[in-house]
Amino acid sequence: MTAPTPTPAPTPAHTERRPGPTAPHWLREPDRPQLGDSPARVALVLIAVGVLVDLALRTRAAGVAAFAAVVVAAIGLSWCGRVRRVGGRVLLAIAVVLAACSMVRASPWLLTLDAVAVLVLVAFACSSERGASHLGSTFAGASSRVVATVGAVVTALPRALETLASLVPTRDAGVRSHLGSLLRGAVLALPIVGVLGVVLALADPVFASLFRLDVDLAGAGWDVVVVAFTIWVLAGCFVQAGRPPVERSTASPSVGVVEGTVVMVGLTGIYAVFALSQWMVARRGADYVLSTTGLTYAEYARTGFFQLLAAAVLTALVLLWLRSSVAMTSSFSARLFSWLGVLASVLTLVVVHTALLRLHLYDQAFGLTRLRFFSTAFAWWLGAAFVLVALAFLVGRRSTREWLPTALGITAIVMLLLVNAVDPDRLVLAHNLERHASGDGAEFDPWYAVELSSDAVPLLVDSVASLDEGDRRVVTNRLCDTYDPTAPVEWNLSSRAAARSLEQLCT
């Protein structure tokens, strides 16, 4: 006799699985990260920024267009819901402030630094949704955010094509999917067909004649390239900003306390010896330098500043690496390691001070240049950075939040804003003119003066009358040879001031 099959017991009501709490909309990630919740908005922002960047690179409205491009990108990232946290929007606001300097300054060195800073700030803003809510971050986390943003830029082209396909006015998802596939196939086919076409055209003149056009598309071609590349990069920023938050890394430090202490002792020892050598030079003077190196004191004092700065930068990287990688096994090892870090940071300040002193002596002997000015500014920032590093070692890790990367970033931004405010090219020229007029026999280099940007032209024109006859002739001839009263003036405050000064000098 077969036993009846037992009927499964009903599941109690209290054991039913209930859905968990729904995450906020901005924390949820689609299966495949798209460019934004509103494709039309995103497409509008991408195209607008691409056109503005093209105007910045190819027209006389460079400064205004560059500023407008950053403003539109910042507003677009917020408008499309990609940067919502306060920290990310603060970074975008700082990027806008730095971009505004392009409408005031004309120095290529300074504008390059500003552009790099703007790109870094936008990259961090786009990855701000992925980290903790506060601005602080570990150096490893900050590096990974930048690397992730670069990776998102590289892979953003398929996302941009999907966004374009989604704008097609059809309700048939299959048609839209096929259109996206066609666009991706075209992207793959274009470079292959283009390379083969060039090779075949070089091999067969008849084939090449079929593609000869009388229309000059060189300018339009560059416009298309600039706009397309800008859209690609900004699309990557949208993709990165739309990714979900990531958890903090729980990986343990990779360097033992004994190994880290040995490295720290080595750093402290070599910088202690360097500080001792500088003390001996200061105490014994030029005779000691000549007897030990064969150099005069002037030759000794005006060399090695770039090497000193490089050594200080390398030391800073090592100290930051040790601080984040060494595993503390006891309170004694933690205190010992911290005090060694403070001592190494303080001794490295001797190197920074020596580099600043040698830059000053070199300036007294040969005058100031843009390279020496920016090197001096960097050395001052490096000194402030070592003070912060020493403080970080002294305080230790008392919380899960890491304030040192944010503090270093703030000091770098403040230093860059100060450099923009002092107008480097004008300051270099003013310093060299004052040095020449002091009566100490210092020579003035007119050839270098006329190579400075429009930022320095008004001061140079105002100072022409005070120059020696030969220097006056060089400056006047060089400035007036390059001046064209019929040429349009760039939309930049420095360029317009320079044009007014040149008009007074050359007409």
Give percent above pLDDT 70 in the chain. Answer: 68
What is the value of pTM for the model shown?
0.74
Q: Which residues contact 118 (CB under 8 A, 6 or more apart)?
A: 70, 95, 98, 99
Q: What are residue 398's phi and psi, to 5 degrees?
A: -100, -5
On the question of pLDDT at 98 being above 90, the answer is yes
On the question of pLDDT at 307 being above 70, the answer is yes
Give percent above pLDDT 90 in the chain. Answer: 15
On the question of pLDDT at 190 being above 70, the answer is no
- Over residues 302-313, the mean pLDDT reads 81
The crossing angle, in degrees rounded to 10, of helices 218-241 and 62-79 is 30
Give the pLDDT score at 427: 94
Give the pLDDT score at 15: 44
SS3 167: coil
Quick one: DSSP state of residue 326?
B
Give dist(CA 462, CA 445) in Å, integer: 16
SS3 134: coil
Give the pLDDT score at 114: 92
Give the pLDDT score at 213: 44
- Of the two residues 184 and 87, the one the predictor is more confident about is 87
On the question of pLDDT at 286 being above 80, the answer is no
State the alpha helices, DSSP H only, in 4-138.
Answer: 39-58, 62-79, 86-100, 108-126
- Over residues 49-63, the mean pLDDT reads 85
Element (H, E) at 299: helix 297-301
The 8 Å CB, 24+ separation contacts for 248-257 are 248/132, 248/141, 248/400, 249/138, 249/140, 249/141, 252/327, 253/324, 253/325, 253/326, 253/327, 254/325, 255/322, 255/325, 255/326, 255/327, 256/326, 256/327, 257/326, 257/327, 257/328, 257/329, 257/333, 257/337
Average pLDDT of the chain? 76
Segment among 248-252, 256-260, 328-332, 394-398 with least mean pLDDT: 248-252
- Given a contact cutoff of 8 angstroms between Cβ atoms, the answer to whether 99 and 70 are in contact is yes
On the question of pLDDT at 480 being above 70, the answer is yes
**What does the buried/exposed string (b/e) look like for 189-220 if buried means 16 or more CB atoms within 10 Å of the residue's CB?**
eeeeeeeeeeeebeeeeeeeeeeeeeeeeeee
Give dist(CA 282, CA 290) in Å, integer: 13
Segment among 33-42, 143-152, 242-251, 421-430 with least mean pLDDT: 242-251
CA separation, residue 50 to residues 68, 190, 199 (Å): 11, 21, 31
